[in-house]
Amino acid sequence: MLTLLRHILSLAAALLLLTACHSAGRAAMGRRVTKAEIQVDEPTLRKPNPFQRTRRFNELFLEALRQKEQDHLDAAYELLEAALDIHPDASEALYELGTIKLGATSYSDTLSKSQGYAMLQRAAELEPDNLYYKEVWAAFLANSAQFREAIRLYEDIAEAEPNAENLSTLVWLYRESGDYAGVIRSIERIEQIEGRSEQLSIEKFHTFIAMKDTERAYRTIEELCAEFPLDLRFRVLLGDLYDRYGYHEQALRTYLDVLTAEPENSYAQLSLLAYYKAADADSLYLDLLHRVVLNPKTQGSARNEALRSYIADNLATHADSTPVIDLLNRATAMQACAPEVRTMKCVYYMERHLPKDSLRSACRQVLSVEPDNEVALNLLLADAVERNDHNEGLRLCKEGRLYYPRKTIYYYYEGYQLFRMNRNAEAISLLENGITRIDPREDPETLSEFYALLGDIYHDERHDDYAFGAFEEALKHNPDNAVCLNNYAYYLSLAGKDLDKAQKLSRRAVDSEPNVASYLDTYAWILYLKREYTEARTYIDLAIQKMDAADDPVTYYDHAGDIYYHNGLRAEALDFWKKALTHATDKAKRRTLRTKVARRRP
């Protein structure tokens, strides 16, 4: 398995050369080459001279390599195109331009990708003995799940260089394509080079299982048991094989024999737990589970796996949480308790919606021994945001950025906390810092959230031009960002700008999430401003119907009063304004509502 991993990493290394182009992008390409630098001299065109053309090609190609080395990809791109105008079948230029087209284009630029693939393929075809071209081309094929073509190329590579590295890559490719016979052939070729090994035999065993070749699976594992009699893992695998094919008594006897010889053997413990669970032997299962989890000598991986399986079953069946909590408490009280067990306790408390005080206590227990535990940090952060505890949220975000400076979630929520604390300048600075850490090709939705929050903050600062620009940027990266659509539409309506656009934006938010009260209220209000009072009443009624505890009823009732008034329902309008007044706490808003109630009109 280790050998196979090395070869997979080798395959990834070939891709890394191209990914470097991709990460650099085409936004910072450096100096552009002038037409004069890439044109072939006119005298040369008038009197073709093969030597001059070759010399000019070499000049352009070498300069392209120099520009590419400096990450000036635009310059390299144009130089290579000019070089290929001279020699269209120059494999080295086709290869270099192909890697740029594949690496420096956006994920949605299918034309450039297609051209890049074609160039790499052509380069490999022009130089069939160039194994490096074949390897890179095969890596791209494998990365796009074109395994059959990648296998054909790697068979050629392995034929020319029959080493374990190339053959292990073939093992991976055959396995990914579902060709198990190819896996076995490739493993046997590795065995001819390096001899039999434990890892290769286990790989063959699992492949025979996948092929449902029971006879060869038994033979392989029995040979391992005979060759390594002191390694009881193979005896456990033999027991698993018995159990898989219905020889349950033999499986049980095998597991118990292993545990008699080695009571803390984690492989046998986990297999026996699975055996008892499948047999519905609940009392035996729970007894063994407690012995495995609470035994200080149990291997940490076995304890974690046993607990994880028990918790997953409990969550799936919605069974009583009491025995799980009891076992988790006893496990976390052990001196030998691993951080993973404490983390499992936090996740279980969250999934079972146990009291928030218990969840907070469990998370803080984790952080007291593992202050960089990301799960506990994020659970506490979510709790702080939900409780509007901005100081606690701010503290957790700062810790998160300290331990995980590349995780943009902490930049976003710290900016959000600062915004809620009216520290807008700090929030803007932090969010802009976070934006620089997001690759728009990799995570456009997160980038959209950052710009949408910036839009809210700029609007709060009464910089509507900046706010609307930020919203446009947010929708460019995620046109379906419903919160952004709604807020952008509402702020346009407040500014009295482009109500037709506001209506379209709001309609998209409502269509995407028709049960969100705030989206319905926004749409109703825009219709009201456009004097479409009858339809506005329909949507404000829906908004009030969909209201929940998190919504602010003051705005909804106030809007409803205005809409009902213009529909000629003045008594109902008065009732809505009175309802809004009973919920209002802002002094200015209360004055406005009192005026409406006293004058009985907006």
Closest CA to 438 of 453, 422, 451: 451
**Residue type for 121, please?**
Q
Closest CA to 265 of 221, 245, 285, 235: 235
Would you state the pLDDT for residue 157? 86
**Residue type for 316, please?**
A
Q: Which two tokens stand for residue 266?
A: 């984690």
- Each residue of 515-555: pLDDT tens digit? 999 999 999 999 999 999 999 999 999 999 999 988 889 99
How many CA atoms lie within 13 Å of 97's alpha carbon, on the beta-carbon side?
27
Which one-letter DSSP state was computed for residue 421? T
Q: In this structure, are residues 92 and 54 in contact, taking their beta carbons and an 8 Å threshold? A: no
* pLDDT at 465 > cutoff 60: yes
Residue 568's pLDDT band (cuts 50, 70, 90): very high
Q: In this structure, are residues 571 and 594 in contact, taking their beta carbons and an 8 Å threshold? A: no
* pLDDT at 404 > cutoff 60: yes
Would you state the pLDDT for residue 48? 56
Would you state the pLDDT for residue 121? 78
Q: Which two tokens stand for residue 436?
A: 């620089």
* pLDDT at 327 > cutoff 50: yes
Q: In this structure, are residues 174 and 151 in contact, taking their beta carbons and an 8 Å threshold? A: yes
Neighbour count for residue 243 (Cβ, 10 Å): 21
* pLDDT at 242 > cutoff 50: yes
Question: Mind spelling out the 3-state secondary structure of 177-240?
Answer: HCCHHHHHHHHHHHHHHHCCCHHHHHHHHHHHHHHCCHHHHHHHHHHHHHHCCCCCHHHHHHHH
* Average confidence (pLDDT) over 162-183: 90
Which one-letter DSSP state was computed for residue 32? P
% the chain with pLDDT above 70: 90
Residue 34's pLDDT band (cuts 50, 70, 90): very low
Stretch (H or E) spanning 243: helix 233-244
* Average confidence (pLDDT) over 498-503: 96
User: Which of the residue ranges 101-105, 198-202, 435-439, 528-532 would you say has the lowest mean pLDDT?
Assistant: 101-105
Q: For residue 575, give the 3-state DSSP assignment.
A: helix
* pLDDT at 169 > cutoff 80: yes
* pLDDT at 2 > cutoff 80: no
Q: What angle do CA 333, 339, 345 make, to 5 degrees?
A: 65
Would you state the pLDDT for residue 451? 97
* pLDDT at 215 > cutoff 50: yes
Euclidean distance between CA atoms 359 and 355, whole angstroms? 7
Euclidean distance between CA atoms 211 and 217, whole angstroms? 9
* pLDDT at 3 > cutoff 70: no
Q: In this structure, are residues 547 and 556 in contact, taking their beta carbons and an 8 Å threshold? A: yes
* Average confidence (pLDDT) over 105-133: 73
- Each residue of 36-51: pLDDT tens digit? 444 444 444 445 577 7
What spatial distance separates the first Cα and last Cα of the chain, rounded to whole Å?
76
Euclidean distance between CA atoms 503 and 513, whole angstroms? 15
The overall average pLDDT reported for the chain is: 87
Residue 109's pLDDT band (cuts 50, 70, 90): low
* Average confidence (pLDDT) over 99-120: 69
Q: Which two tokens stand for residue 251?
A: 């499986």
Would you state the pLDDT for residue 68? 83
Q: pTM surpassing 0.75?
A: no
Euclidean distance between CA atoms 479 and 577, whole angstroms? 36
Burial of 48 (0-12, 13-18, 19+ CB in 10 A): exposed
User: Which of the residue ranges 194-208, 307-321, 587-601 would you say has the lowest mean pLDDT?
Assistant: 194-208
Query: Which domains are present in the chain?
Result: 1-144 (1.25.40.10), 552-602 (no CATH)
Residue with tokens 């928030």: 356
Q: For residue 440, give the 3-state DSSP assignment.
A: coil
Q: For residue 87, give the 3-state DSSP assignment.
A: coil
Total residue count of the chain as it appears in this document: 602
* Average confidence (pLDDT) over 190-201: 87
Closest CA to 409 of 424, 397, 419: 397
Exposure letters 147-164 (e unless 16+ CB within 10 A, then b): beebbebbbbbbeeeeeb
State the Rg of the chain over Cα. 33
Residue with tokens 């080295």: 92
Euclidean distance between CA atoms 411 and 376, whole angstroms? 17
Exposure letters 83-114 (e unless 16+ CB within 10 A, then b): bbebbeebbbbbbbbbbbbbbbbeeeeeeebe
Top pLDDT among 25 and 263 is at 263
Burial of 518 (0-12, 13-18, 19+ CB in 10 A): buried
How far CA 137 is from CA of 134, 364, 556, in Å, comes to 5, 50, 60
Would you state the pLDDT for residue 560? 95
% the chain with pLDDT above 90: 57
* pLDDT at 107 > cutoff 50: no
